[in-house]
Amino acid sequence: MSENPTAPGLPGDDEPGRRRIGVYICHCGGNISDYVDVARVRAAIADDPDVMVAETTLFACADGQQHTMVHDIQNQHLDGLVVASCSPKLHTTTFRGVSRRADLNPYAYTQVNIREQDSWAHTDDHEGATERAIALVKAGIAKTRLSTPLSPLRVETVPATMVVGGGVTGLRTAIGLADIGLSVIVVEREAELGGWLGRLGPTFPHDTPGRDQIAGLVAQIAQRPTITVLTDAELVGKTGSFGNYTAKVHVRGETTDELRQFQVGTFVIATGADVYSPEVGELGYGIDGVVTLHEFGTLVDEATGGALTWHGRRVRSIAYVYCVGNRQAEGNAYCSKFCCAATVHASIKVSKVDPSIRQFHLHRDVRAYGRYELLYTESRERGSVYLRYPDDAPPAIEQSADGRLAVTLVDALTGPDELTIPVDLVVLVTGMVPRQNEALTSLLKLPTGDDGFYNEIHPKLRPVETVVDGVMIAGACQGPKPANEAVSGGLAAVTQSAGILKRGFAELDPLVATVNEAACTGCGECLTTCPYDAISAYPCDTGQKALVSAANCKGCGGCVPVCPEDAIDLLGYTSAQMLAAIDGLADREPVA
């Protein structure tokens, strides 16, 4: 079988031909090997004369396996690495790191995606998935075979970060950034800092008023001259390249209306979320005495004189209806994570105001997780009654003749008979919804998930980075959560920013366009095609030739097909590599 004769232009002037490539095919636990016969994939490529090491591995990314790869590269003098595992979005950095540690050029490594783009897509077709894996691995080997050593491009970075959103996440992030030695610009759209927490009284778990927590952060910011805070401000422009962006901010207060410009290296987006507002009629919303969690919180925090009152009437009983606008089969499917604990906590506050108030919690399951469980226990000890309603049959809320409210449900323990509880107040436990932020989302090209919140690259491994270079997300804009978790995300973004900016320079992929001098006839076709003005002409004996500036080139490859002489190549995706990969894919294995 022809492995490579069709692959044009084998590199290496000194020794034409052979490469020494290591190929590792991952089981991914069973995520791959349950559907792809990895042993057969290995066997199909093991005899390739350029393949020195061909192994299957349970987890390619595991520490031990990385050590083995480094060891193999060094001992077998490998000059190429192919890892067939998951999406390149997840582990390109991991295996480039392996290459680097083994003194192998990181651009001689090719990631082959046999999980997302093979085993997981073809769980119904093991034979087809195995054949596909063989073809994809062959294409990966073909690309690596033609790889040339490249060095990353070095760009200077600006030691400053712009934090968009001045809620608890943004403010705590700003302090972290300043303390690690980066300048910070906080851009808050509203006139006031603080976000949701800034409007809250005593919060769970420690009863510290949200307002006080925000005031504390604002005081700390005032002591840090490297933090600039802009309120009534919005980010309206972003230009530049990795590590050095120009950010335009529109500030329009009562007395100001100006466009300000800042140089920053990274962005942390902490724009938070909104609360769900029920439709009129949804679970009785609109009836006097039916309130949302947020409205209720204010009522409790403002209660004086040992009594809770609603429109002048003393409240003697309350029903809480959980999961409103959340965990719905149609609509918002997610759980907002903070609302169970916030409600449990509110009921403790109520019992402190007036222990005689009777409280009924109508829930689907109480997600007061971790230490919040202690609050749940305390709430029960203080007399709160917890009743579980079925997922598909939410309670009905009606106004009774005496002006009070009647809540009817089927309780999981006493059902199937309906139970009606007369109460003075119904609290709809509303969760969070994504904030409307189209202008910012499209300006930064931020990816959003199905649920409408911003998406990180990977929930476990890269939890605050986005696919947009240099832009991190943190806090409730990424998904609903309690304040401590929001802040943790912010601090992770501090570390990520510092990791990028503290060295003073960043290394970028050198996968840029190059002009083959010998082939270029100076026709000039390419000179106007690059929107980044990366291509210029220089005079030579025969007239002119084209030259690509590596610093300006964004690596799109748009100029490649424009050249009538085939003189332009995109490094990492050269014509020779792409044609060889296409040949690799075509090489159909005879079915065993």
Ligand X SMILES: Cc1cc2nc3c(=O)[nH]c(=O)nc-3n(C[C@H](O)[C@H](O)[C@H](O)COP(=O)(O)OP(=O)(O)OC[C@H]3O[C@@H](n4cnc5c(N)ncnc54)[C@H](O)[C@@H]3O)c2cc1C
Binding site for ligand SF4 (CB under 6 A): 512-513, 515, 520-526, 529-530, 532, 534-535, 546, 548, 553-559, 563, 565, 567-568, 570
204 is a contact residue toward ligand X (CB under 6 A): yes
Contact (Cβ atoms closer than 8 angstroms) between residue 262 and residue 249: yes
Instruction: Report the number of secondary-structure helices (H) and strands (E) in the chain.
Output: 12, 30
Q: How many residues bind to ligand X according to rule CB under 6 A? A: 39
38 is a contact residue toward other proteins (CB under 8 A): no
197 is a contact residue toward ligand X (CB under 6 A): yes
Q: How many CB atoms lie within 10 A of CB 218?
A: 16
200 is a contact residue toward ligand X (CB under 6 A): yes
Contacts of 401 (CB under 8 A, 6+ apart): none
**Could you tell which of other proteins, ligand SF4, ligand X, none binds residue 273, using a CB distance below 5 to 8 A set by kind?**
ligand X
Least separation in angstroms between residue 247's CB and ligand SF4 is: 22
Distance CA 393, CA 368 (A): 22
Contacts of 91 (CB under 8 A, 6+ apart): 60, 61, 83, 85, 111
| Interface residue with ligand X, options 106, 463, 482, 584 (CB under 6 A) | 482
389 is a contact residue toward other proteins (CB under 8 A): no
Note every long-range contact of 123-131, with CB atoms under 8 Å and residues 24 or more positions apart, other chains counting.
123/34, 123/35, 126/35, 126/36, 126/37, 127/591, 129/35, 129/36, 130/36, 130/37, 130/40, 130/41, 131/588, 131/589, 131/591
503 is a contact residue toward other proteins (CB under 8 A): no
- In the complex with other proteins, which residue's Cβ is closer, 502 or 588? 588
Distance CA 272, CA 28 (A): 35
Residues of this chain, 2-31, that bind other proteins according to CB under 8 A: 6
- In the complex with ligand X, which residue's Cβ is closer, 429 or 515? 429
What does the per-residue mask of binding to ligand X show for 295-314, with x meaning CB under 6 A? --x-----------------
Tokens of 582: 């296409």
Of 371, 310, 306, nearest to 345 by C-alpha is 371
196 is a contact residue toward ligand X (CB under 6 A): yes
CA angle 390, 393, 398 (to 5 degrees): 125
Q: Which stretch binds other proteins (CB under 8 A): 158-166, 275-283, 320-328, 559-567?
A: 559-567
- In the complex with ligand SF4, which residue's Cβ is closer, 34 or 565? 565
Residues of this chain, 223-252, that bind other proteins according to CB under 8 A: none
Least separation in angstroms between residue 540's CB and other proteins is: 25
Least separation in angstroms between residue 120's CB and other proteins is: 4
Burial class (CB in 10 A: 0-12, 13-18, 19+), 21: buried
Q: For the packed helices 483-501 and 168-179, what is the interaxial angle rounded to 10 degrees? A: 30
Contacts of 488 (CB under 8 A, 6+ apart): none
- In the complex with ligand SF4, which residue's Cβ is closer, 231 or 514? 514
Least separation in angstroms between residue 571's CB and ligand SF4 is: 10
Residues of this chain, 133-172, that bind other proteins according to CB under 8 A: 135-136, 139
Q: Alpha helix locations (H) across 315-454?
A: 339-353, 372-381, 438-444
| Interface residue with ligand X, options 140, 159, 195, 289 (CB under 6 A) | 195
The site for other proteins (CB under 8 A) is made up of 6, 87-89, 113, 115-125, 127-129, 131-132, 135-136, 139, 445, 447-450, 467-468, 511, 531, 554-561, 566, 570, 573, 575, 578-579, 581-583, 585-586, 588
